[in-house]
Amino acid sequence: MEQPGGIAGLRHSRIAGTGRYLPERVLTNQDLERMVDTTDEWIRTRTGMERRHMAADEQASSDLAVPAARAALEAANCSPDEIDLVVVGTTTPDLVFPNVGCLVQKALEIPPCAAFSCEAACTGWLYGMSVADGMIRLGRASKALVVGVEVLSRITDWSDRSTCVLFGDGAGAVVLEPAEEPGLMSFILGADGNYVDILRSRAGVSRNPAELGDGGLAVRMKGNEVFKIAVRTMGRTVDQLLERHGLDRGAIDWLIPHQANLRIIQAIGKRLRLPDERVVLTVQDHGNTGAASIPLALDVAIRDGRIRRGQRIMMVSFGGGLTWAAGLMQF
């Protein structure tokens, strides 16, 4: 019998283990007060953030991804040679090529297999989870490592007080394995390039490359527009996914939204009529870590005992592109 959102007769996947890594250096709101015209009170009130972690000069995205992946492998009781698919969601790759997936594969000594990066801004990890889940369902992968990682400090304009208070660096990872019953139930992915100008950088490898050395990679954001579209889109996508499975909002044990800022998270919870105690909140500790924020929050809530086996988890994200995604799972 066909599972909602699935394909008849195919197996399922579930999360076997999670892990995270945050760089040692911490940048507090008080530190930012000395850098730009802002205050701890303003940052807390507007974003809910208290601190964020910054990669060391010698650390790139793969250097953050590897310890997070090791922690996930350990939690899953899985050795690297059992992994036959590596997917990394990131906006901040080490290099144009090789992709971060290949670098993680090499560092962990994972045998030859498909290894690639997925670039969908803050939604990249959920996009990657959907791909890995599909590969396991189809029997084209046995165990998958899916990582979300960002070194957003490298593309932050530290003179722009409207954005520099928001972003941090970090990585979160999961190991997926086959399951008899649905663990990952289904996903909804979306994008609308008509809104490209409200959250973007102005330069890249093949577009305005001359501006790369002049802050061209820095995040540029129209905050009010992003807020309105993010809340509306994520709320709608969650409702669509619940409707697909014949569930109401009360069926969600935990909501893990992209940790963009406290106001967006609170607005999503209010729109979905979910009490604060059922929304996982970690933005105060690491800021907006882009594609890493959901797997980071997931690992925190699993390891502190809030999320337990058998509970139903809704994950939802939104990022530049514009991209969005929601994923429903029975942990």
Candidate list 118, 258, 261, 286, residue with the active-site label: 258
Candidate list 122, 164, 261, 286, residue with the active-site label: 122
Q: Decide if 299 contacts 18 (C-beta within 8 A).
A: yes
Q: Decide if 20 contacts 71 (C-beta within 8 A).
A: yes
Active site residue 164: no
Distance set, CA 279 to CA 131, 239, 257, 294 (Å): 25, 16, 8, 12
Q: Which two tokens stand for residue 27?
A: 């940048």
Q: How far apart are CA 90 and CA 97, in angstroms?
A: 13
Candidate list 29, 99, 261, 288, residue with the active-site label: 288
State the CB neighbour count (10 A cutoff) for residue 113: 16
Active site residue 286: no
Active site residue 113: no
Instruction: Kindly report whether the peptide bond that precedes residue 98 is cis, defined as omega within 30 degrees of 0.
Output: yes
Q: How far apart are CA 322 and CA 260, in angstroms?
A: 14
Active-site positions?
A: 122, 258, 288
